[in-house]
Structures are given as structure tokens and as C-alpha cells.
Amino acid sequence: FFFFFFSSSLPSLLLGALLTVQMMQNPQVLAALQERLDGLVGSPSGYMESLPKIVKRRVNALKNLQVKCAHIEAKFYEEVHELERKYAAMYQPLFDKRSDIVKGSYEPADDECEWKADEEEELTEEMKEKAKVEEEKKDEEKEDPKGIPEFWLTVFKNVDLLSDMLQEHDEPILKHLQDIKVKFSDAGQPMSFTLEFFFEPNEFFTNTLLTKTYKMRSEPDESDPFSFDGPEIMGCTGCQIDWTKGKNVTLKTIKKKQKHKGRGTVRTVTKTVPNDSFFNFFAPPEVPENGELDEDSEAVLAADFEIGHFIRERIVPRAVLYFTGEAIEDDDDDEGEEADDEVRFFFSFLIYIYIYICK
Ligand SMILES: *[C@@H]1O[C@H](CO)[C@@H](O)[C@H](O)[C@H]1NC(C)=O
Ligand SMILES: *[C@@H]1O[C@H](CO)[C@@H](O)[C@H](O)[C@H]1NC(C)=O
């Protein structure tokens, strides 16, 4: 077993998995496992209870100190937010220039367009010449496009998290997306950030700006102060989209046959129902006063918060790398490694339990 434990090669993992599955099918093993697990659960609290009252009292003092730590940590994150605001102002001129180049309202000069070639792409002079001629031919065929066409749409398509939301009928609309900005809440205001989506005039809606605001909580929750781990997204609000007539892609009309109960006659009625679309992002489920959400809305919001966070943290700061695909490979590598680690950990854990039972 220690062979599996310390080895991470796939065949041994699979063999380990097979053995584990066999072990888990053995009722005696299962019963023993249950017994051991039962013994483990609650043992920490059992230990606390066994302590003399006077010691328990002191432990409570430690917990109160811990709560105070959580409040100081909250102050720390408030200052981080202040720093983010300060630095956002420094990035903004560069993001504005990015936007101008994407839109085609600014043509970068030659020195701004120089970029070291990839080492892999070392070409002979002859090949370079050939490539240049072909490029020129390509350019002649197409009329000169404005800026960088479909920049943000391409970014969306390249990021799994976003492309999952993207429907075919959203694509012509997102071709008109010209910029995404992050706006932080002002100092002294409750912590939040707003994603601003700027559109050029288009035939789909009359808005030129769509917004999505995420409210953050940066205070420890009084009822559960130890769960505090930095600011958390608590809720979000979208905005109204003023769709041009017939262009509302978040709606679809369906025909439904309806049977009259008494007479038994059948008639067809048309109904409008929600349609899948990225633009549902701007109409998130509302959290009711009592804070209780049904499961579907909860899942939608959980995904929504993740997307909002990702756009703010990754997409807006490094859009060009998502456009070219360079940022995506990095992210995928990280995820792959993490998943591997999890699998490895899981099997090690099962095998550990097995050894423990057999002892
Ligand atoms: C609704 O969604 C379907 C499939 O995603 C799409 O083909 C259709 O165009 C949408 N309806 C409208 C009115 O946009
Ligand atoms: C578009 O559809 C949504 C439902 O998905 C609806 O709430 C909204 O009022 C519609 N807007 C227009 C202008 O028809």
C-alpha cells in the first residue's frame, strides 16, 4: 500500500482505485470504516468538554481575541480596497488607450507596435519575405477593419466560464461591445464594485452602457465571525436593457396547445418565456428580504458571483492575453495540477483509512 501512497503514476493510481472500490464493496470493511469514522466525529468537542471549567474559561478568552483579530483583518481588507482604488486610477489611462485601439479611434504608431518575435518563430529571410507578401495579399482582400474587430467577443469565447453562458444569438450583439471597466465604490461607502459594459450604438438595444454591481461584505458576520476570510460578494444588481422591438434575445415566444377542459376544444396560444442568453447576466435573481433562495436561484447566483469576480480580477486587467489565448493556457495548467493533487490526495486518504481500519 505504501507503494500507492507515495507513487503518483497513473497506472498505480488506477490500481489503487480498483482495490479501493473492492474494499468499499466489502460490508465488513464498510462497517468497520463507519465505526472508526463515528469515533472520530465529535472527538475534538469531547476533548473540550473534558477540560476543567477554569481552562475552558480561558479558551473562551482566546476565542474572544480571535474575534478581535477578525475585525482587524476586516480593516486590513478595507485598506487593500483603498489601495486597489488608488492603483485603479493609475491603470485607467492604459485601459483607456487599450479601448481606443480596440475601437479604432487611435492608431498606434510603429514604435508602439514593435513586439519581440517568439523564439520558436525564427524564420529565414526568404520565409519572412513570403509571409509578408501573403499578409499584404490578405490585407488587400479585406477592407481595412476598424481597430480590433470582435475583440471582446473573442475574449468571451476564449474563456470557458463566459462561453458557457454565450448563446449563438448573443454573438452579433457582443460584436458591439467596446470596453469593460471596473469601478470601485468610493471611500466611506459600503464596499462594492461595478462592471461597466460599453457598447457602440447598435440595432439591438438603445443603451450604450450596461452595468452590473456587486455588493461586498468586508465585515465578519456577527453570528459566525470565524468564517471571515476577506471581503465576500453578498449580492448583485443588474440594469434594465432597453431592447429594440423584436430584438429581446432573453425572451422567446413559444406556441402551446391548450385544451379547453369543458368543451374539449384545442386552441393554440403563444406565450413568451425566458430564453438562454448571456444578457440574463444583467437580470440576476433577486435575494428576497428573508434571504432565502430556491436552489436554482442559488446556483445561478453562485455562478454569477464567480463570473463577476473573474471579470474583475482577470479579464479586465489582462484582456489582451485572453484575446490571444496566452492567459488561458496558464489558467488551464493551474487547474489541471490542482485536480491532479486532489485525486492524489483522495486516494491517499482512502488508503490511509484502510490501513487505519486494518490496524
Ligand atoms: C432563443 O434561444 C434559441 C436557442 O438558444 C435561439 O435560436 C433563438 O434565436 C432565441 N430566441 C430569440 C427570440 O432570440
Ligand atoms: C426582455 O425580456 C425580459 C425577460 O427575459 C423582460 O424582463 C424584459 O422586460 C424584456 N424587455 C423588453 C424591452 O421587451
pLDDT surpasses 60 at 303? yes
Answer yes or no: do 166 and 38 share one domain: no
Give 182-200 pLDDT, tens digit per residue.
Answer: 999 998 899 999 999 999 9
Give the model's pLDDT for residue 7: 41
My answer on whether 237 and 211 are in the same domain is yes
The reply to whether 54 and 39 lie within a common domain is no
262 within domain boundaries: no
pLDDT recorded at residue 99? 97
Least confident of 78-82, 135-139, 209-213, 234-238: 135-139
Are 218 and 356 part of one and the same domain?
A: no
Among all bound ligands, the one having the nearest atom to the CA of 205 is: 2
Decide: pTM greater than 0.85.
no
- Name the region of 32 (left: φ>0; alpha: ψ -120 to 50; beta: rest): alpha
On whether both 293 and 312 belong to a single domain, the answer is yes
Give the pLDDT confidence of 91-113 residue by residue, as tens digits: 999 999 999 999 999 999 999 99
Please, what sign has the CA dihedral across residues 7, 10, 16, 21?
positive
Q: Which pLDDT score, from 0 to 100, does residue 107 have?
A: 96
- DSSP bridge partners of 259: 266
For residues 201 and 208, is the Cβ–Cβ distance under 8 A? yes
Q: Say if 4 falls within a structural domain.
A: yes
Residue 162's nearest CA partner among 283, 47, 308, 276 is: 308
What distance in angstroms lies between residue 1's CA and the mean position of ligand 2's atoms?
60
Average pLDDT, the chain: 83
Residue 121 lies in a domain: no
Residue 340: inside a domain: yes
Asked if 154 and 223 sit in the same domain, the reply is yes
Which residues' Cβ are closer than 6 Å to ligand 1?
Answer: 167, 169, 249, 252, 275-276
| Residue with CA at minimum distance from ligand 1 atom 1 | 275
Verify that 163 and 66 share a domain, yes or no.
yes
Ligand 2 atom 5: residue of nearest CA: 250
What pLDDT was estimated at residue 348? 65
pLDDT score at 208: 97
Same domain, 175 and 52: yes
Whether residues 345 and 318 fall in one domain: no
In whole angstroms, give the CA distance from residue 148 to residue 57: 66
Q: How far is the CA of 182 from the centre of ligand 2 (A)?
A: 26
Grid coordinates representing 270 are: 403563444
Count structural domains, the chain. 2
Query: Does any domain span residue 271?
Result: no
Domain span at residue 223 reads 48-107+150-244+283-324
**Same domain (yes/no): 177, 62:** yes
185 and 70 in one domain?
yes
Instruction: Kindly report the CATH number assigned to the domain that includes residue 239.
Output: 3.30.1120.90
Same domain, yes or no, for 184 and 230?
Answer: yes
Answer whether residue 88 is part of any domain: yes
* CA distance linking residue 322 with residue 166, whole number of Å: 16
